[in-house]
Amino acid sequence: MFFYPDLLKKTVRPLTVLIISLCLTLPFLVATSEAQGPGISEQSVDLLTRTGKAMAEVTAAVKPGIVNILTTRTVKVGSGQDPFLDDPFFKRFFGDQFGRQRQHPREQKSSGLGSGVIVSSEGYIITNSHVVKDADEIKVTLTDKREFIGKVIGSDLKTEIAVVKIDAKGLPTVPWGNSDKLQVGEVVLAVGNPFGLNQTVTMGIVSALGRANVGIADYEDFIQTDAAINPGNSGGALVNVKGEVVGINTAIFSTSGGYQGIGFAIPSNMVKSIMESLIKRGKVVRGWLGVSIQKVTPELAKQFDLKDEVGALVGDVVEDGPAEKAGLQRGDIIVEYDGKKIEEPYILRNMVANTLPGEQHSIKILRDGKTRAMTITIGELPTEAQQSVESGDFQNALKGVVVQDMNPDLAKKLKIPDKIKGVIISDVEEGSIAAGALMQGDVIQEINRKKVLDVKSYKDVVSRIKKDESVLLLIFRGGSSLFVTLSQK
């Protein structure tokens, strides 16, 4: 379960705490030249002392650029159950209307706490979208205890990034680092205000890079760290040993709501790109290819005669979109974008989203076993572009799938475009191979690369499928076409 590290309802004493915990395999040793434990060499003591001082210097440099963000928002709550509402004695005198007015929702003020990073001396602060979402008032407190009222310049829920502005000049800032140069195992510090404890610093390492599909945001490329991140840390900085921001702390994986060794931060390079767009335009303008893409599974790799399960498989191409104009086709597998290998679909999605509309970029695709190079002019992502791709499946492998011819009424009801031809699935037998993969309303357009136009052609193709043969389908669902495979287990 994922949690945003916001303030929990917990009473804390007004105490400023500085925590520096070295996440090493050996415990951190505290020693002096006057008193050192038996068996500890002077060289070890000197090394650890210098390491501790170095970390203290980094912390001292970063802390002035970290702020506390207190938000106030109005929420509607129920009035609670009155213990006398169901008492027969009171109902006898006042009737069933007794107390009903008291059950109407009422408004009350709710406060939340998060962190932020000053990235401009002119008062621009980076934080998380959920920290300031629906806030009536945003109070920003600096390290020197000065307080300011903040204004949201822009917020991007798809990446969980927001920019807040305060009316101040000459503020201390934290410099940007290059998140693309981060390596797993690299030492990092997390700085923020967990549980309202200002200027708390914890230490750990980069546990993993490129974490996606974790359900936190629409565009995900998270840095995973074991530096302790707790409620109130949202929007705080993840910094390297140079004191540079390499990430913005966003969420934790936890079964309890507290720290359990897995935290996630948005890479600084993504944050910078989103921030610049929010400051300049008040919104994020994203690039768009005009395709629906999906992961290359082992089954799909086999069907497409691929050696490796890499790349982004094109399931559908938007008519008159950038991809179609460049010559991309359904079934192409995009393996490179501007020279960078596409291991997973999310990599391509993030790279294209961070591209400015109108720019030309090179891509490499696999088509019929051959590599081809293309140049594509990136478009602008429409506000309501539907690019999600669901996974699905098939029959003998298709046994238990019931289909029917498409008619104008059905097509209109299911919002199926005129250009989509095929048969509509009316039922999928429970317990069949296709159950849980194919569903009512799916349109089967192709089976094993053969077009399906009606029930007759469907039966002709299916009748030739052997019992143990895997099947490759092209289906239309949810506004997009996609490839799916079905096979005997």
Please list the alpha-helical segments (H only) found in 127-181: 129-132
Rounded to whole angstroms, how far apart are CA atoms 271 and 248? Answer: 8
Rounded to whole angstroms, how far apart are CA atoms 141 and 428? Answer: 58
Q: State the average pLDDT over residues 277-304.
A: 86
Closest CA relative to residue 6, chosen from 143, 97, 98, 127: 127
Provide CATH code, domain 287-380: 2.30.42.10
Rounded to whole angstroms, how far apart are CA atoms 255 and 276? Answer: 35
| Residue 31 predicted with pLDDT over 60 | no
* Cβ pair 19, 28 in contact under 8 A: no
| Residue 9 predicted with pLDDT over 60 | no
Q: pTM for the complete prediction?
A: 0.60
> Does an H or E element contain 296, and which?
none
- Give the pLDDT confidence score for residue 409 in this predicted structure: 66
Considering the domain 401-486, what is its CATH architecture? Roll (2.30)
Burial class (CB in 10 A: 0-12, 13-18, 19+), 231: buried
Dump the DSSP string for 413-480: HTT--TT--SEEEEEE-TTSTTBTTB-TT-EEEEETTEE--SHHHHHHHHTT--TT--EEEEEEETTE
The structure tokens 């989509």 sit at 420
Strand ordering across the sheet containing 161-165: 147-149, 137-141, 66-77, 106-118, 124-127, 161-165, 151-156
* Position with higher pLDDT, 342 vs 88: 342
* Position with higher pLDDT, 313 vs 230: 313
* Position with higher pLDDT, 101 vs 120: 120
- Give the pLDDT confidence score for residue 255 in this predicted structure: 58
Q: State the average pLDDT over residues 404-416.
A: 79
- Give the pLDDT confidence score for residue 36 in this predicted structure: 53
Report residue 205 as tokens. Answer: 């390492």
Give residue 122's identity as a one-letter amino acid code.
E
Rounded to whole angstroms, how far apart are CA atoms 370 and 95? Answer: 81
Report residue 48 as tokens. Answer: 């650890």
What is the DSSP pairing of strand 151-156 with strand 222-225?
Answer: unpaired
Q: State the average pLDDT over residues 287-309.
A: 85
Rounded to whole angstroms, how far apart are CA atoms 413 and 403? Answer: 16
- Give the pLDDT confidence score for residue 474 in this predicted structure: 94
* Cβ pair 217, 235 in contact under 8 A: no
287-380 and 401-486 in the same fold: yes
Per-chain mean pLDDT for the chain: 79
pLDDT per position as a tens digit, 166-224: 999 999 999 999 998 999 999 998 888 777 667 788 888 999 988 876 667 777 788 89
Q: How far does the chain reach from its first CA to its final CA, in angstroms?
A: 31
Report residue 84 as tokens. Answer: 């006398």
Nearest-Å Rg of the Cα atoms of the chain is 28
- Give the pLDDT confidence score for residue 337 in this predicted structure: 93
Q: State the average pLDDT over residues 425-442.
A: 83
Annotated domain spans of the chain: 1-32+42-78+111-284, 287-380, 401-486
- Give the pLDDT confidence score for residue 259 in this predicted structure: 58
pLDDT per position as a tens digit, 68-94: 999 988 776 655 544 444 444 334 444
Q: State the average pLDDT over residues 443-449.
A: 92
pLDDT per position as a tens digit, 115-141: 899 999 999 999 998 899 888 899 999
Vertex 392, ends 298 and 476: CA angle to 5°?
Answer: 120
| Residue 413 predicted with pLDDT over 60 | yes
The structure tokens 């919002």 sit at 415
* Position with higher pLDDT, 93 vs 236: 236
List Cβ neighbours of 42 (8 Å cut-off, separation of 6 or more).
33, 36
What is the DSSP pairing of strand 200-211 with strand 401-405?
Answer: unpaired
Rounded to whole angstroms, how far apart are CA atoms 340 and 375? Answer: 14
The SS3 assignment for 19 reads: coil
pLDDT per position as a tens digit, 347-379: 898 889 888 899 999 999 999 888 999 999 999
The domain 1-32+42-78+111-284 is classified under which CATH number: 2.60.40.4070, 3.40.50.300, 1.20.1070.10, 2.40.10.120?
Answer: 2.40.10.120
Residue 452 to residues 154, 391, 400: CA-CA distances in angstroms? 48, 20, 18
**Confidence class for position 37, pLDDT limits 50, 70, 90:** low
Rounded to whole angstroms, how far apart are CA atoms 55 and 266? Answer: 23
pLDDT per position as a tens digit, 452-461: 988 888 888 8
